[in-house]
Amino acid sequence: MPENQYACQCSCGETTFSVQGSPLLRCYCHCTICQEFNQAAFADISIYMAKNVVLPSPESLEYKAYRPPPAVQRGKCKSCGSPAVESLQIPLLAKLIIIPSNNLHQDCVIDPALHMFYHSRVSDIDDGLAKFNGYWKSQAAFGHKLIVSLLSGRASPK
Ligand SMILES: [Zn+2]
Ligand SMILES: [Zn+2]
Protein backbone atom coordinates (compact mmCIF):
# COMPACT_ATOMS: atom_id res chain seq x y z
CA MET A 1 0.00 0.00 0.00
CA PRO A 2 1.25 3.57 -0.68
CA GLU A 3 2.68 5.56 2.18
CA ASN A 4 0.13 7.22 4.44
CA GLN A 5 -2.57 4.78 3.33
CA TYR A 6 -4.57 3.09 6.08
CA ALA A 7 -6.64 -0.07 5.82
CA CYS A 8 -10.13 0.33 7.31
CA GLN A 9 -13.12 -1.93 7.78
CA CYS A 10 -16.68 -2.17 9.09
CA SER A 11 -17.38 -3.75 12.45
CA CYS A 12 -17.61 -7.31 11.06
CA GLY A 13 -14.62 -6.92 8.73
CA GLU A 14 -16.44 -7.96 5.52
CA THR A 15 -16.44 -4.44 4.11
CA THR A 16 -12.93 -3.13 3.59
CA PHE A 17 -11.66 0.15 2.22
CA SER A 18 -8.69 2.44 2.68
CA VAL A 19 -8.02 6.09 3.40
CA GLN A 20 -5.07 8.37 2.81
CA GLY A 21 -3.86 10.37 5.79
CA SER A 22 -6.07 11.56 8.62
CA PRO A 23 -9.57 13.02 8.21
CA LEU A 24 -10.34 16.70 7.67
CA LEU A 25 -12.69 16.69 10.59
CA ARG A 26 -14.16 14.41 13.21
CA CYS A 27 -17.42 15.34 14.88
CA TYR A 28 -20.50 13.99 16.61
CA CYS A 29 -23.82 14.30 14.81
CA HIS A 30 -27.04 14.06 16.82
CA CYS A 31 -29.47 14.41 13.89
CA THR A 32 -32.36 11.96 13.80
CA ILE A 33 -31.17 10.43 10.52
CA CYS A 34 -27.79 9.60 12.04
CA GLN A 35 -29.55 8.18 15.08
CA GLU A 36 -31.64 5.90 12.87
CA PHE A 37 -28.79 4.99 10.52
CA ASN A 38 -26.39 4.17 13.37
CA GLN A 39 -28.96 2.78 15.80
CA ALA A 40 -27.25 4.96 18.38
CA ALA A 41 -27.81 8.19 20.30
CA PHE A 42 -25.44 10.01 17.92
CA ALA A 43 -22.91 9.33 15.17
CA ASP A 44 -19.16 9.64 15.64
CA ILE A 45 -18.05 10.52 12.12
CA SER A 46 -14.82 11.42 10.34
CA ILE A 47 -14.80 13.36 7.08
CA TYR A 48 -12.46 12.83 4.13
CA MET A 49 -12.18 14.30 0.67
CA ALA A 50 -13.47 11.64 -1.73
CA LYS A 51 -10.15 11.56 -3.57
CA ASN A 52 -8.45 10.34 -0.40
CA VAL A 53 -10.69 7.31 0.04
CA VAL A 54 -10.65 4.03 -1.85
CA LEU A 55 -14.26 2.94 -1.39
CA PRO A 56 -15.41 -0.60 -0.60
CA SER A 57 -16.59 -2.68 -3.52
CA PRO A 58 -20.22 -1.73 -4.28
CA GLU A 59 -21.39 -5.35 -3.89
CA SER A 60 -20.54 -5.33 -0.18
CA LEU A 61 -22.78 -2.34 0.51
CA GLU A 62 -26.42 -1.43 0.56
CA TYR A 63 -26.91 2.26 -0.21
CA LYS A 64 -29.81 4.37 0.84
CA ALA A 65 -30.51 8.08 0.48
CA TYR A 66 -32.40 9.16 3.56
CA ARG A 67 -33.44 12.70 2.83
CA PRO A 68 -32.29 15.11 0.11
CA PRO A 69 -30.87 17.71 0.32
CA PRO A 70 -28.06 17.41 1.16
CA ALA A 71 -27.78 14.31 -0.94
CA VAL A 72 -26.07 11.97 1.45
CA GLN A 73 -25.77 8.40 0.21
CA ARG A 74 -25.45 6.13 3.22
CA GLY A 75 -23.92 2.71 2.77
CA LYS A 76 -24.37 -0.14 5.21
CA CYS A 77 -22.39 -3.37 5.15
CA LYS A 78 -24.56 -6.18 3.79
CA SER A 79 -23.08 -8.67 6.24
CA CYS A 80 -23.33 -6.90 9.59
CA GLY A 81 -25.79 -4.13 8.68
CA SER A 82 -23.63 -1.51 10.33
CA PRO A 83 -22.76 1.82 8.68
CA ALA A 84 -19.65 1.55 6.49
CA VAL A 85 -19.30 4.76 4.45
CA GLU A 86 -21.45 7.69 3.40
CA SER A 87 -20.86 10.01 0.48
CA LEU A 88 -21.89 13.63 0.35
CA GLN A 89 -21.66 15.95 -2.65
CA ILE A 90 -21.42 19.62 -1.72
CA PRO A 91 -22.33 21.48 -4.92
CA LEU A 92 -19.41 23.43 -6.42
CA LEU A 93 -17.18 22.59 -3.48
CA ALA A 94 -16.25 19.01 -2.95
CA LYS A 95 -17.27 15.42 -2.78
CA LEU A 96 -16.82 14.15 0.73
CA ILE A 97 -16.81 10.73 2.30
CA ILE A 98 -18.18 10.33 5.81
CA ILE A 99 -16.82 7.38 7.75
CA PRO A 100 -17.93 6.17 11.19
CA SER A 101 -14.81 6.86 13.29
CA ASN A 102 -14.74 3.33 14.69
CA ASN A 103 -14.32 1.97 11.13
CA LEU A 104 -11.05 3.87 10.73
CA HIS A 105 -7.64 2.43 11.33
CA GLN A 106 -6.74 3.64 14.83
CA ASP A 107 -3.58 5.38 13.57
CA CYS A 108 -5.55 7.96 11.57
CA VAL A 109 -8.24 8.81 14.13
CA ILE A 110 -8.17 12.46 15.25
CA ASP A 111 -9.79 14.27 18.20
CA PRO A 112 -13.45 15.25 17.70
CA ALA A 113 -14.07 18.96 17.08
CA LEU A 114 -17.74 19.57 17.83
CA HIS A 115 -21.27 18.28 18.32
CA MET A 116 -23.87 19.24 15.72
CA PHE A 117 -27.67 18.92 15.57
CA TYR A 118 -27.35 18.89 19.35
CA HIS A 119 -30.99 20.05 19.68
CA SER A 120 -32.15 16.55 18.71
CA ARG A 121 -29.85 14.81 21.19
CA VAL A 122 -31.04 11.79 23.13
CA SER A 123 -29.14 12.90 26.22
CA ASP A 124 -26.80 15.67 27.32
CA ILE A 125 -23.08 15.20 26.75
CA ASP A 126 -20.65 16.79 29.18
CA ASP A 127 -17.36 16.79 27.28
CA GLY A 128 -16.32 20.43 26.89
CA LEU A 129 -16.63 20.36 23.08
CA ALA A 130 -18.52 23.08 21.19
CA LYS A 131 -22.20 22.20 20.66
CA PHE A 132 -24.39 23.54 17.86
CA ASN A 133 -28.17 23.51 17.80
CA GLY A 134 -30.45 23.92 14.83
CA TYR A 135 -30.10 22.95 11.18
CA TRP A 136 -28.42 26.06 9.81
CA LYS A 137 -26.12 26.67 12.77
CA SER A 138 -25.03 23.03 12.66
CA GLN A 139 -24.43 23.14 8.90
CA ALA A 140 -22.51 26.40 9.24
CA ALA A 141 -20.28 25.14 12.05
CA PHE A 142 -19.59 21.93 10.16
CA GLY A 143 -18.83 23.80 6.92
CA HIS A 144 -16.62 26.32 8.67
CA LYS A 145 -14.51 23.66 10.41
CA LEU A 146 -14.22 21.76 7.16
CA ILE A 147 -13.05 24.77 5.18
CA VAL A 148 -10.53 25.77 7.87
CA SER A 149 -9.18 22.25 7.79
CA LEU A 150 -9.06 22.20 3.97
CA LEU A 151 -7.15 25.48 3.89
CA SER A 152 -4.71 24.65 6.65
CA GLY A 153 -3.90 21.16 5.50
CA ARG A 154 -5.11 18.18 7.40
CA ALA A 155 -4.83 17.66 11.09
CA SER A 156 -2.09 15.27 12.03
CA PRO A 157 -2.90 11.91 13.57
CA LYS A 158 -2.72 11.57 17.34
ZN1 LIG B 1 -19.76 -5.60 8.17
ZN1 LIG C 1 -26.42 13.46 11.28
The number of the ligand nearest the C-alpha atom of 100 reads 2
Q: Place 158 in a pLDDT band, splitting at 50, 70 and 90.
A: very low
pLDDT over threshold 60, residue 130: yes
Q: Cα of 72 to ligand 2 centre, how many Å?
A: 10
Residues 18-29: tens digit of each pLDDT: 999 999 999 999
Residues 57-76: tens digit of each pLDDT: 989 999 877 765 567 889 99
Residue 69: the pLDDT is 59
The number of the ligand nearest the C-alpha atom of 16 reads 1
CATH number where 14 lies: 3.90.1590.10
Cα distance between residue 142 and residue 114, in whole Å: 8
Q: Cα of 28 to ligand 1 centre, how many Å?
A: 21
**Cα distances (Å, whole numbers) of residue 1 to 18, 53, 87, 109, 145:** 9, 13, 23, 19, 30
pLDDT over threshold 70, residue 156: no
In a domain, 12, yes or no: yes
pLDDT over threshold 90, residue 111: yes
In a domain, 157, yes or no: no
Residues in the chain: 158
Q: Cα of 2 to ligand 2 centre, how many Å?
A: 32
- Average pLDDT over the chain, rounded to an integer: 90
In a domain, 158, yes or no: no
pLDDT over threshold 90, residue 88: no
The residue segments making up the domain with residue 68 are: 5-151
Residues with CB under 5 A from ligand 2 (ion): 29, 31, 34
